[in-house]
Amino acid sequence: KRSMACSRFEYVKSFEQDDSILPNVWIVIRIDGKKFHKFSKTHDFEKPNDENALNVMNAAATAVLQEFRDVVLAYGQSDEYSFVFRKETTAFKRRSAKLLTYVTSLFSTSYVMHWSKWMNLPLAYAPCFDGRVVLYPSEQNLKDYLSWRQADVHVNNLYNTAFWKLVLEKGLTNQEAEAKLRGTFSADKNELLFQEFGINYNNLPAMYRKGTILLRKRVIVGEKSRQAIVPLHEDLISSHFWKQHTEILGKYVPGTYDAPVPLPRLVE
């Protein structure tokens, strides 16, 4: 590097602010697509859930986990993804802006790189993502954060599933469908789906109902086992999930995740 040392301009460097994150907290970075309501229209996403568009999101998130070994869990739904860094991470000296901008830009560029693997239409314009850093000091706070995101996908997906059934199959206008669903509870929407469309909501694909959890696991491939980034579509609100995947919150030593799980569909 060419040094500016000794130049009379160097003092400007001192205007930069220290943004290192305090120690011993979970660092969560959440990215979210900018105006994806419009982006999904422009690119003909299937409503309410375009499976391939979710696959692009999952592939981009997998690229982030491949690069940042200290991410112990990622959770995605719709146009958003949350990345959880282990508490002890020293990546980029815990500098907030570095972590946030690297994750957000790597996610964005990876989204573009993986696009054509899953989608038929070419990109009409460059998608972009906002990002934020949130710190959680306790296990309970972190679990509640992830539960909050998963509850969000449940509420939205139940509503959207009912809404699009009314529009696409019953021929209601958007306004009529909205009016019909206004003020209804979850149980009402479940009932409507079952009575009018013969749909048992719980039988819809788990990825739509639960979102996608990415974990590092040792998986069995043929005779051998290897580390992989594995997508799961489980309920993480229940304590069962945290009992099954104790390595997430435990002291993490790279390369020691070895709970063998059967190999599910890999997102790569």
Query: Interface with Mg ion by CB under 5 A: which residues?
Result: 32-33, 36, 78-80
Does 78 help bind ligand ATP (rule: CB under 6 A)? yes
**Count of positions on this chain that bind ligand ATP (CB under 6 A):** 16
Q: How many CA atoms lie within 13 A of 221 on its CB side?
A: 11
- Among residues 70 and 80, whose Cβ is nearest to ligand ATP? 80
Amino acid residing at 151: A
Among 30, 31, 36, 231, binds ligand ATP (CB under 6 A): 36
Binders of ligand ATP among residues 52 to 71 (CB under 6 A) are 53-54
Does 81 help bind ligand ATP (rule: CB under 6 A)? no
- Among residues 47 and 95, whose Cβ is nearest to ligand ATP? 47
Which residue shows structure tokens 């739509």?
208
- Both tokens of 129, joined, read 């993502």
- Among residues 3 and 239, whose Cβ is nearest to ligand ATP? 3
Q: Give which of ligand ATP, Mg ion, none residue 53 binds (C-beta under 5 to 8 Å, depending on kind).
A: ligand ATP
- Among residues 122 and 222, whose Cβ is nearest to ligand ATP? 122
Beta strand 129-136 with 212-221 is unpaired
Q: How many CA atoms lie within 13 A of 34 on its CB side?
A: 9
Coil, helix or strand at residue 79: coil
Coil, helix or strand at residue 268: coil
Does 117 help bind ligand ATP (rule: CB under 6 A)? no
Does 99 help bind ligand ATP (rule: CB under 6 A)? no
85/69 Cα distance (integer angstroms): 9
Amino acid residing at 159: Y
Does 152 help bind ligand ATP (rule: CB under 6 A)? no
Coil, helix or strand at residue 217: strand
Coil, helix or strand at residue 52: helix
Site for ligand ATP, rule CB under 6 A: 1, 32-37, 40, 45, 47, 49-50, 53-54, 78-79
